Amino acid sequence: MRLLNILVIGALIVAASFVYKIKFVSTLQAERVAKVRGELRRERNEIAVLRAEWGKLDAPSRVKGLADRHLGLRPVEPAQFDSLDRLPERPAVAPSADPIGAMLAPTAPDTTGTVPSPGQPR
């Protein structure tokens, strides 16, 4: 009987230590979860701040003000447009063995579609 009591007491000590270990591990996991939730909350707040800043920086009125201040663009005038019959002819494209390469290769120098001022030569 005495041996049985000693074995039961030993089993209770082992079970108590096992339960304590489980409680300790679960407490650590709960702290980690709380830490990750806090980090997630901070990241979401930072994303919200960045989106607000982006909306402020991307506002059309701000972009227009910056363009007016730094680019010095002039408004479009009706004299800048011309009729379609005065457009230059499209350059002829020679057939190529590589159709994709022919699409990628530049066929004409880069030109703009602006009409020269009345005082400038063509």
Q: Is the dihedral of CA 100, 105, 106, 108 positive or negative?
A: negative
pTM of the model: 0.46
Give the three-state DSSP class for 109: coil
C-alpha distances in angstroms, 6 versus 10, 13, 20?
6, 11, 21
Q: What share of the chain is helix, strand, coil (3-state, %, to 5)?
A: 65, 0, 35
Mean pLDDT of the chain: 84
- Distance CA(91)–CA(27), nearest Å, equals 77
| pLDDT tens per residue across span 14-65 | 999 999 999 999 999 999 999 999 999 999 999 999 999 999 999 999 988 8
